[in-house]
Chains A and B, each alone.
Chain A
Amino acid sequence: MTTASRPFTRQRIPTGRLLLYAITTALLVFLVAPILVVFPLSLSSGELLVLPTPGYSWRWYTDFFTSNRWLLATYNSFVVGILTTLIATSLGTLASIGLYLGRFRGKAFVLALLSLPMVTPVIVTAIALYFSLSAVGLGSTLTGLVLAHTVLSVPYVLLTVLASLQAFDPNLLRAAASLGANPLRSFYRVVLPLITPAVATGALFAFATSFDELIVALFIASPEQFTLPRQMYAGIREFLSPTIAAAAVLIILLSVVLLMINETIRKRAARHSLTPTDRTP
């Protein structure tokens, strides 16, 4: 950006601008600091969560990786997260294509129905699933948890893929047809490559949603189904050991990895984009 694009503060005295930068820096520190504070705490050699730490050690990470409860929780989180991602992404992508192709009345209603879990307060979803899953014998099962997480994360897949389909230029399909491609072939060769970034983003959201989800797990998971957030919550409630800080650091690192993957997908999609978004101002 050039100086010409920020005329609003151009003629202001620099102190105003400095103040603005100072406020912004302080607020960004406020946003990141609590997350950073967990890192030294997790490396403490002491039993208490205090700063400065008496010394540094890996003991709490050793504790995490040798504790059956934390390992089970990690395993459960990945199993539920991966299954949720697979189901939500496949069904969500198919439904988005259906919603894109369909020309029927009530389409908006179907979309609203499918997105409802996103705007419903999670506690309401949680008690609804608590009652119904126990009623059909799926309470305290990983299957129940996968179903719940799938419903919670499907709207993200749906809306991301649908947005990318709506930006899709139908002329490309006509071009493919005029070159002799049948509809199935043109779907695989033309549509799918163009919506792949959106599908990948949707899958990432689905995994993150499931991996972070606590409230539903609070209601429908017994200790054998505890996920990482659920195990962390139990830990905070029982005894605040630095193992919780170690678990928090591991979850933060995974979130940062997911964020980086998402940014990479976005940048690559922007570079290879053939969609009309390039044409919008």
Chain B
Amino acid sequence: MMTRRNLLAAALIAPLLLLVLVSFIVPLGATLYRAVEDAEVPSILPQTTALLKQWDGKDLPSEQVYHTLIHELREAQEQQKAGPVLNRLNFEETGLRSLLLQGLRASQQFNGSTKQHLIALNPRWADPHVWDLIKRSTGPWTPLYFLRSVDLKLGPGGVVVPTADEEAVFIKLFIRTFEISVVVTLICAVLAYPIAYTLSILPQVWTNIGIMLVLIPFWTSILVRTTAWFIILQREGPINALLVSLKLVDQPVTMIFTRFAVYLAMVHVLLPFAILPLYSVMRGIKPDYMRAAASLGAPGWRRFLRIYLPLSMPGVAAGALMVFMLSVGFYITPALVGGSGDQMISYFIAFFTNTSVNWGIAAALAALLMGMTGILVAIAWLLVPGFRSGGVRV
């Protein structure tokens, strides 16, 4: 009986599990694997890769290695396949691309030893560190992308060192993402509290109206709400028109493409996520406790601090965690109403996937973002009762 039951269960689950495995889990795994995969150099320069695997790393490699590298690179360039290799090597250290391209151009006139020609062309070719960098790119795995995504890199001798200041952008990006999320979460928690409280004490008719006013924005798409802010905050938009006509300002104020706009729009988008769980917790708080405290002579503020606030904290925590989890991954809202200094991790994942193609760093940032969200989910799972059953929409 048990077995038949489980067979039926398995048959019912299988179609969905298969779909999710094929069109989510496998793609996700393959994408995150790109963060450590190092395939460009081994696949496009296979002979150089094989030769470098045997190189001891101390003295300069032999003439054969120099010759094979230039030969394979030229072949790749003729087949338009050199781009990924050059990008990969240049990401290992800026300047390697131009060094290699210079060598490639000059190699048309080489007769005799490639090694001697290259060294005469550029003394860097006599530096074993250059070869060390190339050897490091021969795969099959690399820590490069994860190190870079926290502003570190491998220096000479394989020691982990901080990247140069002009390349150290990612820690700042994480701090900025964190800062925006914390500010948005705090504002949402503070604003949600009075709304949820009022809704929980009003007569039913008014509560229903109030809840509707929270649910309507909640069900309206994030893009539509962000678009509304995009329109409202324009220089010629309604807010500036109002401010000027009330003579509060002489000139229209720049609000769009600022951090202020990001905070405003994100709080607007996420506030319902903080209100709804808090409201449902507050509705469950029995008035008896407050009455008991009152009968024992506790003044209003004290009853609030000692009784009501602790009882409502699970709702605050649930809402705040939800808001924080969502804001860490925000993309569309900052992209539309924020300036270049207000973009968060998601923006850069998209940027490195589409615009400045560097899939390794995009995957490493994606893995770190997932890790951050995973920690938050774990905290919510452990701390917030009812989180497991609750979806995003109520």
B300-A127 in contact (CB<8A): no
Known: A132-B30, A245-B231, A256-B216. A1 touches B370 (CB 8 A): no
Known: A35-B217, A103-B5. A215 touches B332 (CB 8 A): yes
Contacts of B14 in A (CB 8 A): 98
A122-B231 in contact (CB<8A): no
B24-A219 in contact (CB<8A): no
State the CA gap A150–B15 with chains docked (Å): 13
For chain B, what secondary structure do more than half of its interface residues adopt (helix, strand, loop), or is it mixed? helix
Interface hit among B41-49, B128-136, B142-150, B218-226: B218-226
Whole-angstrom distance between the Cβ of B340 and the nearest chain A Cβ: 15
Known: A28-B214, A240-B231. A214 touches B223 (CB 8 A): yes
Known: A91-B16, A121-B369. A28 touches B31 (CB 8 A): no
Contacts of A28 in B (CB 8 A): 195, 210, 213-214
B12-A113 in contact (CB<8A): no
The digit string for B259-302, where 1 denotes a CB below 8 A from any CB of A, is: 00000000010011000000000000001001100100000100
Contacts of A24 in B (CB 8 A): 194-195, 198-199, 210
For chain A, what secondary structure do more than half of its interface residues adopt (helix, strand, loop), or is it mixed? helix
Contacts of B219 in A (CB 8 A): 208, 255-256, 258-259, 262
Contacts of A258 in B (CB 8 A): 219
Contacts of B16 in A (CB 8 A): 91-92, 94-95, 114, 154, 158
State the CA gap A155–B388 with chains docked (Å): 12
Interface hit among A2-10, A55-63, A66-74, A188-196: A2-10
What residue of chain A has the Cβ atom nearest to residue B34's Cβ? Answer: A131
State the CA gap A118–B8 with chains docked (Å): 26
Known: A4-B287, A104-B9. A148 touches B225 (CB 8 A): no
B217-A32 in contact (CB<8A): yes
Give 14 A-B pairs besides A20-B197, A34-B232, A103-B9 with Cβ atoms closer than 8 angstroms: A23-B194, A23-B198, A35-B220, A51-B237, A87-B19, A101-B9, A104-B6, A121-B373, A123-B346, A123-B369, A127-B363, A156-B393, A255-B221, A259-B219
A-B contact pairs, 26 of them (CB 8 A): A8-B287, A20-B198, A34-B225, A34-B229, A34-B268, A35-B225, A52-B241, A91-B16, A97-B12, A99-B9, A117-B24, A123-B369, A124-B366, A125-B24, A127-B349, A128-B24, A128-B27, A128-B30, A132-B30, A132-B31, A151-B20, A151-B23, A154-B16, A205-B391, A214-B332, A233-B332
Which B positions have Cβ atoms within 8 angstroms of A? 2, 5-6, 8-17, 19-21, 23-28, 30-31, 34, 191, 194-195, 197-199, 201-204, 210, 213-217, 219-225, 227-232, 234, 236-238, 241, 268, 271-272, 287, 290-291, 294, 300, 303-304, 308, 325, 328-329, 331-332, 336, 346, 349-350, 353-354, 359, 362-363, 366, 369-370, 373-374, 377, 389-393
